[in-house]
């Protein structure tokens, strides 16, 4: 699979695309430009990964096990091929990030593999598979629906790994954000119930589900990340 990199130093960042997006989407949509100052200053180094949502979550196929199996193959690629490359070049585990469907993938990956990431910056995401598979939660579908599997997680050692990460979730309250508002509130409740510290932020009714707002949020929350890391550096 293809990916792109930006920058020469700093904390690695792995960015997932929006629904059916490609590895060049983040640059073409202005996400890289929103972070250009931090990239040029050597504070952040980006990897933008390709996606296969059309074969999994957004497939029209009725074979749900085959669709979720395709997604599991994608996560294996990220975990077994791309992350070792990032660790080799970047020297540290990355921040995971994305907008819309990218926020879902970034959050879902961190919650499932917390040892492989330093934290997440998720913008306008959904956090349930019901948007793609309806009420089905059989097999691996359940383990890709964060609000469900997190609520059922009682392994304190595993929860402590998540608690040690730096988590940011943001959603606007403007146009096209209704499903994301609902799921972000559901996730916020689960995180609170599990005593997982997180910054959950709801922007105003003018903040819509679109790139111009995500550009503002990208710059804002990465600045917050860098500010927090200067005050309390993560050693991972």
Categorize the per-residue pLDDT at 236 as very low, low, confident or very high, splitting at 50, 70 and 90: confident
pLDDT at residue 65 greater than cutoff 90: yes
Q: What is the pLDDT of residue 188?
A: 98
Q: What is the pLDDT of residue 32?
A: 98
In a domain, 130, yes or no: yes
pLDDT at residue 47 greater than cutoff 90: yes
Q: Which helix (H) or strand (E) holds 216?
A: helix 211-231
Q: CATH number for the domain including 21?
A: 3.40.50.1820
In a domain, 82, yes or no: yes
In a domain, 236, yes or no: no
Q: Which residue spans within the chain are E strands per DSSP?
A: 3-6, 11-16, 44-49, 95-99, 119-123, 166-171, 199-202
% of the chain at pLDDT higher than 90? 98
What average pLDDT does this structure show over 208-234? 96
In a domain, 36, yes or no: yes
Residues 66-110 have pLDDT tens digits of 999 999 999 999 999 999 999 999 999 999 999 999 999 999 999
Segments in 113-210 forming alpha helices (H): 130-133, 146-149, 156-163, 178-193
What average pLDDT does this structure show over 34-47? 98
In a domain, 46, yes or no: yes
Domain of 218, in residue numbers:
3-231
- Quick one: DSSP state of residue 94? P
pLDDT at residue 235 greater than cutoff 90: no
Residues 127-163 have pLDDT tens digits of 999 999 999 999 999 999 999 999 999 999 999 999 9
């Amino acid at each position: 699979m293809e990916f792109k990199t930006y920058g020469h130093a700093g904390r690695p960042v792995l960015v997932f695309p929006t629904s059916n997006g490609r590895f060049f989407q983040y640059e073409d949509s202005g996400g890289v430009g929103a972070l250009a100052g931090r990239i040029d200053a050597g504070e952040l180094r980006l990897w933008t990964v390709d996606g296969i949502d059309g074969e999994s979550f957004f497939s029209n196929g009725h074979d749900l096990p085959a669709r979720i199996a395709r997604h599991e193959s994608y996560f294996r690629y990220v975990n077994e091929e791309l992350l070792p490359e990032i660790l080799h070049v970047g020297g540290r585990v990355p921040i995971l990030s994305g907008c819309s469907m990218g926020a879902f993938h970034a959050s879902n990956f961190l919650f499932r593999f917390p040892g492989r990431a330093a934290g997440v910056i998720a913008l306008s995401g959904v956090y349930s598979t019901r948007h793609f598979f309806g009420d089905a939660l059989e097999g691996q579908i359940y383990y890709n629906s964060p609000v469900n599997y997190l609520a059922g997680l009682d392994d304190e050692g595993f929860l402590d790994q998540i608690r040690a990460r730096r988590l940011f979730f943001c959603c606007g309250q403007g146009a096209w954000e209704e499903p994301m508002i609902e799921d972000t509130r559901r996730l916020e409740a689960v995180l609170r119930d599990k005593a997982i510290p997180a910054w959950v932020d709801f922007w105003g009714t003018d903040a819509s589900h679109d790139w111009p707002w995500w550009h503002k949020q990208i710059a804002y929350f990465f600045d917050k990340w860098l500010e927090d890391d200067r005050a309390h550096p993560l050693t991972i």
